[in-house]
Structure 1
Amino acid sequence: MTLVFTLSAARSLADPTAAFADARRWSAHVGIVANDVGAVEQFLDRHDLENDYALRDWDKWGTLADIGESTDTPRHVFVGTGPADRRLADTVGWEFRAVREAAEKAEWALGEPEQADREADAGIVARLRRTVTDRSWWPF
């Protein structure tokens, strides 16, 4: 099986390192996708995880389609968090599992994302807003 998480699904795991180690026992390929490659790299580094495929500056759609074409496994499972992730899985021909369902079946605990993950989830608009409102860097 090829098992791919969205970044938000991986962040919702109480112990992503343990969940990935467990998933590697019964999956040929395990990884994380997101539209923000830098955020995925930071998450992987923070939790000492590795993707089984190269990260590219593509969106989730292109990355997931590429992984599906390049991995020769009988099942491709996409673990996500909502309807948009389900639509993505359906469009590229992957099975979809909500993170809560996957965690329950695999006996992985869910938890609160770390502060760094919550801040990264805030997105670019929130980061820009903080930058603009933090006037300490302004020269005047």
Structure 2
Amino acid sequence: MTGETMTLAFELAALRQTREPQAVVVDARRWAQNVGLISTDFGAAHAFSAKYLVRRDFQVMPTASDLRHLGSQYDTERHVLIGTTSNRPEYLPPQHWEYLSLADAATAAGWSLENPETTLREQWTARLYRVLRRRE
């Protein structure tokens, strides 16, 4: 990487599709100053981060206002979102944010992706965990 600075955000769904989420985040920290998660479900993001020992600098909702605020909070030259779709999500602000699909990012960085059945099983496990926690 060149001398530029970067803030990197993963959609939780994208990070869930990687074979080794902790290794992906550790690798991303080699070239990004700030690494975090975008998720509508903070509980699921927290459980995922705890399970895989993923250290995140931030966690925000997938809204344009949250991402604009995040962009102003971290004064880096680039702000990049890695997501699950091939197209740029509508919530991503058009200015100051780049979008990269997980498939393209994984290919460029050499990250291994998980098979979809395992990802679905993990999603159900996280939901069950949240339900059981509420009952305590």
Smaller-chain TM-score range? 0.7 to 0.9
TM-score, length basis structure 2: 0.77
Q: Does the 8 Å CA contact 1:7/1:32 hold for their aligned counterparts?
A: yes
Deviation at 1:43, TM superposition (A): 0.7
Q: Does the 8 Å CA contact 1:39/1:120 hold for their aligned counterparts?
A: no
Q: How far apart are the structure 1 equivalents of 2:95 and 2:38?
A: 14
Q: What's 2:134 paired with?
A: none
Q: Which runs of 5+ in 2 are unaligned?
A: 1-5, 132-136
RMSD: 2.6
Q: How far apart are the structure 2 equivalents of 1:84 and 1:51?
A: 25
Q: Does the 8 Å CA contact 1:33/1:63 hold for their aligned counterparts?
A: no
Q: Does the 8 Å CA contact 2:11/2:38 hold for their aligned counterparts?
A: yes
Q: How far apart are the structure 1 equivalents of 2:11 and 2:89?
A: 11
**1:30-52: CA deviation from partner (whole Å, max 9, x where unpaired):** 01110111111011001111211
Deviation at 1:4, TM superposition (A): 0.3
Q: Does 1:69 align with 2:76?
A: no
**Structure with the largest fraction of helix:** 1
Q: What's 2:98 paired with?
A: 95
Q: What's 1:134 paired with?
A: none
Superposition pairs of residues 1-140 of structure 1, within 5 angstroms: 1-53=6-58, 55=59, 59-61=61-63, 62-82=65-85, 86-91=89-94, 93-112=96-115, 113-114=118-119, 117-119=122-124
My pick for the range that moved more, 84-93 or 102-111, is: 84-93
Q: Which runs of 5+ in 1 are unaligned?
A: 129-140
Q: How far apart are the structure 1 equivalents of 2:125 and 2:72?
A: 30
**Structure with the largest fraction of strand:** 2
Deviation at 1:115, TM superposition (A): 5.7
**1:7-36: CA deviation from partner (whole Å, max 9, x where unpaired):** 000001111111111000110000111011
